[in-house]
């Protein structure tokens, strides 16, 4: 919530001093869309939602989307190696377990049905084109369906009308090198467009003794977006195309997407229709020449309508998604049977926000979703919000969400080692949440969220009762997590803003009677710190000089031997001219290298820094 108090410095004349004069009403009326799939004031959203603004990203100087997500105090972000991240909300954060977080880019889902997770190395965006990132911690199955179990990340890019003219942004450092270029123009009186291209290189991570893992990689990407009016409504057409090359193990990741959206007003309602095509190809080659390839094609079409009458504000919609995949592997005996498959996901949903009184709202909704693997799933929710007074808002929610099986869990096969698991079912969650959001003073805000998550049918790796091997996947774990997300913001001085966040998490799980899991509890339940603490300081130390300082302390992952760590980031930017900014930045400054996650052997993230130049024209 605090992140909305800042506007983009190089693109606008507003400073921290000017923004500190915003009224309480203006701050609480910043619009978000992720909680209800329609515009609503952030101050009235009955969910734990944090907004990362474009200015937060710019001032922090981060160079990738996963690093930008560290700005959200309600996420766990752990870097595994040069190209891999584990990212989750409210726990279950590991390569195998962080499959309960849905991530959208302009309404396009980016998780893969191979293992219902996100390949973060294939999700590069031009960071300057991001308008905001809305991060919901807690389930969103009613609106977003499968995999929106522990949270939703909604990345929303700017209209092409807001990116007119040219921009060149270059950063050169000891670990990261990146260059972005963009140009936007007009399509006569009909609309606007932008085109962009970027290239980057990510350096090696370290072993615990300081030697290099030799896992550097590089990539390039280009894309476009156009926004225009026609047929009595508004159209958006956009696309991205990329190629990434990996050093260790050798490999290539390439793909792209094309998305179209049309919105209009029909008989007093707001209708939106969207369709996209997404293609992801991954090829990995080991030292012996073994090759594994994953090819995925996604076709998605969805429509939603928003209508208001009397005390009711209803959003409803339908959707159809088809995946066509192929997995081949000559590096080891693990394959998917069948090698290629077409999967379908069909849904219909409706949600009604009812103004019970002027200060009380009740939101009821459900989604019915049909998967080829599990048939129909039902994901209802109930949310209530109470505007206690102009400064304070209290909310509560009960929700059900599911994670449908992946291709790996149903079809993984290795002769004598793993058999297909056609009986593996969806993992399920009932979540109980409550929260308090307050504008404590004209220059201080606070958000507190408490949660209790009750999980059933979590994945087990079951041995054969007679011969031990081959194993299959089952649904034998159950239990709960509970904890709190707390964050706030304060302006100690008119030119200085402090954002702080704290997260605490506890877990209790057990096997169902008669169940066995040879993989161990952490394979399914993740490697989660018991707490995280964040502090971000934004300062206008002079009319043309910005200083950003970030501190974070993350508790140990004691179950896998990753110690607690404390780190600091810093960026100093000087606006030489209205259209030219120079910067210097350093990240992970406290230690030469530190571990954040485990994926044997443990790899550590090195200290890094860069110098940058940003020119608009």
Dump pLDDT digits (tens) for 47-99: 999 999 999 999 999 999 999 999 999 999 999 999 999 999 999 998 888 89
Does pLDDT of 6 surpass 50? no
Does pLDDT of 111 surpass 60? yes
pLDDT value, residue 2: 42
At residue 4 the predicted structure's pLDDT band, cuts being 50, 70 and 90, is very low
Tokens of 571: 């960026």
At residue 1 the predicted structure's pLDDT band, cuts being 50, 70 and 90, is very low
Peptide bond between residue 65 and the one before it cis (omega within 30 degrees of 0): no
pLDDT value, residue 41: 84
Does pLDDT of 30 surpass 80? no
Helices (H), 29-114: 54-60, 65-69
Average pLDDT over residues 460-477: 94
At residue 156 the predicted structure's pLDDT band, cuts being 50, 70 and 90, is very high
Instruction: Please state, as a whole number, how many other Cβ atoms lie within 10 Å of the Cβ of residue 156.
Output: 19
Least-confidence region, from 216-230, 246-260, 571-585: 246-260
Which has the higher per-residue pLDDT, 242 or 289?
242
pLDDT value, residue 210: 86
Does pLDDT of 504 surpass 60? yes
Backbone angles phi, psi at 128, to 5 degrees: -65, -20
Q: Are 11 and 59 within 8 A, CB to CB?
A: no
Q: Are 111 and 103 within 8 A, CB to CB?
A: yes
Does pLDDT of 44 surpass 50? yes
Average pLDDT over residues 383-388: 97
Closest CA to 53 of 157, 141, 138: 157
Does pLDDT of 18 surpass 70? no
Mark 374-405 as b/e (b = at least 16 C-beta within 10 Å).
Answer: beebebbbebbbebeeebebbbebebbbbbbb
Number of domains the chain contains: 1
Closest CA to 453 of 347, 537, 525, 365: 525
Tokens of 307: 């209508």
What is the CATH classification number for the domain harbouring 525?
A: 2.40.170.20
Dump pLDDT digits (tens) for 173-215: 999 999 999 999 999 999 999 999 999 999 999 998 889 989 9
With tokens 């309508």, the residue in question is: 305
Which residues have CB under 8 Å from 143's CB, separation 6+?
36, 37, 315, 349, 351, 365, 367
Least-confidence region, from 78-87, 424-433, 558-567, 568-577: 558-567
Does pLDDT of 9 surpass 60? no
Dump pLDDT digits (tens) for 281-316: 999 988 788 899 999 999 999 999 999 999 999 999
Does pLDDT of 10 surpass 80? no
Average pLDDT over residues 546-554: 98
Q: What percent of the chain is modeled with pLDDT above 90?
A: 81
Does pLDDT of 260 surpass 90? yes
Torsion of CA 569, 575, 579, 581, to 10 degrees: -40
Task: Name 565's bridge partners.
Answer: 554
pLDDT value, residue 398: 98
Report DSSP letters for 438-493, one per residue: EEEETTEEEEEEEEEEEEEEEEEEEEETTTEEEEEEEEEEEEEEEEEEEEEEEEEE
- CA 527, CA 376: separation in Å to the nearest integer? 31
Dump pLDDT digits (tens) for 338-385: 999 999 999 999 999 999 999 999 999 999 999 999 999 999 999 999
How far the first Cα of the chain sits from its last, in Å, is 32
Does pLDDT of 431 surpass 50? yes
pLDDT value, residue 591: 96
pLDDT value, residue 21: 47
pLDDT value, residue 466: 92
Number of H helices, E strands in the chain: 7, 35
Does pLDDT of 3 surpass 50? no
pLDDT value, residue 11: 43
Does pLDDT of 459 surpass 50? yes
Mean pLDDT for the chain?
A: 92
Question: Do β-strands 335-336 and 312-329 pair in parallel, antiparallel, or remain unpaired?
Answer: unpaired
Domain residue limits at 523: 2-616
Provide the whole-model pTM. 0.95
């Amino acid at each position: 919530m605090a992140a909305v108090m800042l506007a983009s410095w190089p693109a606008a004349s507003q400073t921290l001093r000017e923004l500190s004069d915003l009224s309480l009403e203006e701050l609480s009326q910043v619009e978000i869309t992720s909680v209800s799939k329609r515009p609503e004031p952030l101050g009235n959203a009955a969910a734990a939602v944090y907004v990362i603004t474009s200015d937060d990203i710019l001032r922090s100087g981060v160079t990738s989307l996963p690093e930008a997500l560290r700005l959200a105090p309600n996420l766990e972000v752990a870097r595994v190696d040069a190209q891999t991240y584990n990212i989750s909300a409210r726990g279950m954060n590991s390569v195998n377990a962080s499959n309960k977080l849905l991530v959208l880019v302009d309404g396009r889902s980016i998780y893969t049905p191979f293992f219902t997770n996100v390949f973060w190395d294939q999700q590069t965006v031009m960071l300057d084109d991001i308008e905001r990132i809305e991060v919901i911690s807690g389930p969103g199955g009613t609106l977003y369906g499968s995999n929106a179990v522990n949270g939703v990340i909604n990345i929303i890019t700017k209209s092409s009308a807001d990116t007119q003219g040219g921009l060149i942004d270059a950063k050169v450092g000891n670990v990261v090198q990146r260059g972005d270029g963009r140009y936007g123009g007009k399509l006569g009186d009909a609309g606007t467009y932008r085109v962009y291209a970027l290239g980057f290189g990510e350096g090696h991570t370290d072993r615990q003794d300081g030697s290099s893992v030799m896992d550097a990689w590089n990539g390039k990407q280009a894309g476009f977006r156009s926004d225009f009016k026609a047929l009595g409504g508004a159209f958006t057409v956009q696309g991205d195309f990329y190629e990434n090359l990996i050093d260790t193990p050798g490999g290539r990741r390439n793909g792209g997407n094309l998305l179209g959206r049309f919105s209009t007003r029909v008989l007093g309602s707001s209708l939106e229709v969207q369709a996209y095509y997404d293609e992801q190809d991954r090829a990995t080659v080991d030292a012996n020449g073994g090759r594994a390839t994953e090819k995925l094609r996604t076709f998605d079409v969805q429509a939603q309508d928003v209508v208001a009458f009397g005390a009711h504000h209803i959003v409803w919609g339908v959707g159809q998604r088809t995946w066509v995949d192929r997995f081949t592997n000559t590096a080891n005996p693990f394959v998917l049977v069948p090698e290629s498959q077409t999967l379908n996901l069909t849904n219909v949903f409706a949600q009604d926000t009812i103004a019970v009184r002027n200060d009380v709202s009740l939101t009821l909704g459900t989604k019915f979703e049909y998967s080829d693997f599990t048939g129909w799933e039902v994901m209802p929710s109930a949310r209530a919000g109470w505007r206690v007074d102009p400064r304070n808002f209290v909310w509560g929610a009960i929700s059900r969400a599911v994670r449908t099986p992946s291709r790996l869990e149903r079809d993984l096969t290795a002769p004598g080692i793993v058999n297909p698991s056609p009986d593996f079912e969806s993992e399920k969650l009932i979540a109980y949440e409550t929260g308090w959001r307050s504008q404590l003073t004209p220059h201080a805000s606070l958000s507190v969220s408490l949660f209790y998550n009750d999980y059933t049918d979590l994945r087990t790796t079951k041995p054969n009762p007679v011969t031990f091997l081959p194993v299959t996947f089952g649904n034998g774990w159950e239990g709960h997590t509970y904890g709190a997300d707390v964050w706030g913001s304060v302006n100690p001085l008119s030119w200085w803003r402090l954002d702080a966040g704290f997260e605490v998490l506890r877990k209790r799980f057990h096997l169902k009677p008669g169940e066995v899991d040879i993989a161990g509890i952490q394979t399914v339940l993740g490697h989660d710190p018991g707490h995280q603490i964040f502090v971000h300081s934004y300062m206008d130390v002079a009319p043309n000089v910005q200083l950003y300082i970030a501190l974070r302390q993350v508790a140990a992952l004691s179950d896998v031997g990753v110690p607690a760590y404390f780190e600091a980031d810093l960026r100093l930017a000087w606006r030489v001219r209205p259209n030219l900014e120079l910067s210097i930045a350093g990240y992970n400054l406290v230690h030469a290298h530190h571990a954040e996650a485990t994926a044997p052997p443990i790899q550590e993230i090195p200290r890094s820094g860069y110098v940058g130049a940003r020119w608009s024209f």
